[in-house]
Structure 1
Amino acid sequence: MWDLLDPYSYEFFVKGVVAATLAGALCGLVGVFIVLRGMSYIGHGLSHAIFGGFAACSVVGANYYVGAGAWGLGSALAINAISRSRRIGADAAIGVVTTASFALGVAMISIWGSRGASFDAALFGSILGISPTDLWVLTGVTVFTVGVVVLRYRALLFTTFDPEVAGASGVKVARTDALLMLVLSLSILTTLNVIGVTLVAATLVIPAVVARMLTNSFAHMLVLSTAIGATCGFVGMNLSYHLDVPSGTTIVLTGAAVFLLVLAGTGGRRLSRTARSAPAPVRPEETVSLP
């Protein structure tokens, strides 16, 4: 028992646990909208696209949050525009943009070297990479995201389920989509040191998928996904220390274990919920349950 509590005597570990719990909750909350919109691949691609901004900041020694944040937001808006386009397959276009950005980042660091944050920490996550500044920024983004969801709940709900009808009903769909992309890019940006570029997409998707298997209610899904993400972050960070494995890896594996347990407990047919589209159009002022 005391062995489990030993790491809490280290300040860096306590900061890591707090950061992992916040990161899991943040990704779980945002992940609900990503999963229900069928944007899981966008979340995966954006995490790789942001790495290009991370690399550029590392090479020139610029502030990580400013440079990578601008890069990530621009990539998010571009990806969102591509996903709405019907001229070419969105998945193919996103694949080209994001993998090119990721490859550019690797090339820049290989040629000019890194002057900033750890390359490995950005790829796989590391409790050693958590600074007080990272923790404060993560807390701020989490509070901002909760505020956006609460204040723009009906607009986000309506555009998630039926953007065409939402637009016809007076909802500013483009503005709402841009706000969601901002939240998504900030969420990925602030969780890289905890989870890593290669695994952050899983923390966006797994809690939301598990919550979708457990409830039909959209509001309940938001709460469940946030709680599941926070729990996986907390447990995964503790396992990371004891197993001497990167934090992102253990957080994702913890989420995968939860997914398998829920899948076994609810039956495989419940998983089909996550592949289904939104319900019939509803008015934002109505209480909505998922099909």
Structure 2
Amino acid sequence: MSITEFLTDLLNPDLAFLPKALAIAVMSSIVCGVVGCYVVLRGMAFIGDAVAHAVFPGIAVAFVLQGSLVLGGAVAGVVTALLIAIFAQNRRIKEDSIIGVFLVGAFALGIVIISQAPGYAGSLQQFLFGSITGIPDRDLYVVGGTGLVVLGLVLALHKEFVAVCLDREMSRAMGLSVFWLDIVLYVLVTLAVVISLQTIGNILVLALLITPAAAARLLTDRLGVMMLLAPVIGGTSAVVGLYLSWSYDTPVGGTIVLVATAIFLVAWLVAPRHGLLTRRWRRPSGPEPVDVNRPAPLPGLAHPPDPSPAVR
């Protein structure tokens, strides 16, 4: 299918679900790209996976009651995120163990709930792998409003999130409430995951949160640039993925994730400074001279930042 034919289908009134699916895919990709930057910097990809499973009971309840899947998933995800943050304060059990407990428990609860609904097998497949059909108009508005709220909170708390991502103990010494910042970040991750479920699906949504941010991390050492690149990569993956899915009749969620993964692989190979091939091309014949004026790497960052401020 040519791009012109795809654009014609987008404007076709008989295919009204297609532009709605594109809008939700792009909006959720942008939000996931921004929030995913904190997830990648902090090394908390597991919490994204846990949240993706934790929202399942809320989605199941909303499906049984014929309510909004987005709102149902958001409520369940926020409750689970709060429980994880509270239980993780007990340092005898590590945070990843707490996350694992709630991940499996919440997902099992969702399966039990949805199994009580007639015809649940087809619905379960839709929740797990995503679907571009049957997206109601109200979900379009809910996703747009939720995305604006998430981006607004990110803008308001950006400096605090960066401080906690780089050094939690120093953040506490500076008087920041690390516990409440953790809760807010968990909630933002939850909302980003929930608004992505309908097009990506429960199983693949973690990729939309992590892959664009990881690709952006390879392309730049500056956090501000990274937070601009990640949503661009995510949005591009959504548009190209939906086009390929519609053209070749492939699952939309899987196609979007494959496009994002391809972009990550390209960045891993040819990123300007940190790409595998780029480093080999630029490898000096002798030992690399040491720049005594270059600052040491910040905690939590894989590479030393540029001499200019890395965080805006």
Interval of TM-score (by shorter of Structure 1 and Structure 2): 0.7 to 0.9
What is the DSSP-based 3-state SS (H/G/I as helix, E as strand, rest coil) of the residue aligned with 2:92? Answer: coil
Q: What TM-score do you get using the length of structure 2 for normalisation?
A: 0.81
- CA distance in structure 1 between the aligned counterparts of 2:148 and 2:270, rounded to whole angstroms: 33
Q: What does residue range 198-213 of structure 1 map to in structure 2 within 5 Å?
A: 198-213=203-218
Q: CA deviation at 1:86?
A: 3.1
- Runs of 5+ consecutive residues of structure 1 not aligned to the other structure: 281-286
Runs of at least 5 residues in structure 2 that lack an aligned partner in the other structure: 280-297, 303-307
- Partners in 1 of 2:91 and 2:155 — Cα distance? 32
Aligned partner of 1:183 among 185, 188, 192: 188
| Cα displacement (A) at 1:93 | 2.9
Corresponding letter in the other structure for 2:137 = P
Is the CA contact 1:12–1:130 (under 8 Å) kept in the aligned structure 2? yes
Structure 2 match to 1:222? 227
Question: 1:1-291 counterparts in 2 under 5 A?
Answer: 1=2, 2-8=4-10, 9=12, 10-83=15-88, 85-113=90-118, 118-266=123-271, 267-268=275-276, 277-278=299-300, 288-289=309-310
Larger Rg: 2
Which stretch shifts more, 35-44 or 142-151? Answer: 142-151
- Separation of aligned partners in 1, 2:261 and 2:56: 24
1:59 CA displacement:
2.9
Q: Tell me the distance in 2 between the aligned counterparts of 1:39 and 1:288.
A: 24
Supply the distance in 2 between the matched residues of 1:62 and 1:4 (Cα, whole angstroms).
32
- In terms of fraction of residues, the more helix-rich structure is 1
Residue correspondences, number: 279
Q: Does the CA contact (< 8 Å) of 1:73 and 1:182 recur in 2? A: yes
- Counterpart amino acid of 2:9? P
Are 2:70 and 2:142, in contact at CA under 8 Å, matched by a contact in 1?
Answer: no
What letter is aligned with 1:217? R
Distance 2:252 2:82 in 1: 29
- TM-superposed CA distance for 1:38, in Å, is 1.0
- Contact 2:193 / 2:209 at 8 angstroms: preserved in 1? no
Shift of 1:118: 3.7
Secondary structure at the aligned position of 1:289 is classed as coil
Task: Name the CA distance, whole Å, in 2 between partners of 1:269 and 1:104.
Answer: 47
Structure 1 contact 130–194 (Cα < 8 Å) conserved: no
CA offsets 1:132-190 (integer angstroms, 9 cap, x no match): 11111111111112211211121111112112211211222222222111211111112
* Identity %, equivalent residues: 34
Name the stretch that deviates more: 6-15 or 214-223. Answer: 6-15
Deviates more, 1:126-135 or 1:43-52: 126-135
Counterparts in 2 of 1:178 and 1:239: CA distance versus 1, 3 Å: same
Alpha carbons 2:212, 2:230 under 8 Å: kept: yes
Specify whether residues 279 and 123 from structure 1 end up closer, same or farther in structure 2 by C-alpha distance, changes over 3 A only: closer
Q: Distance in 2 between matches of 1:63 and 1:14?
A: 20
1:30-53 superposed Cα distances (whole Å, 9 cap, x missing partner): 100111111101101110111122
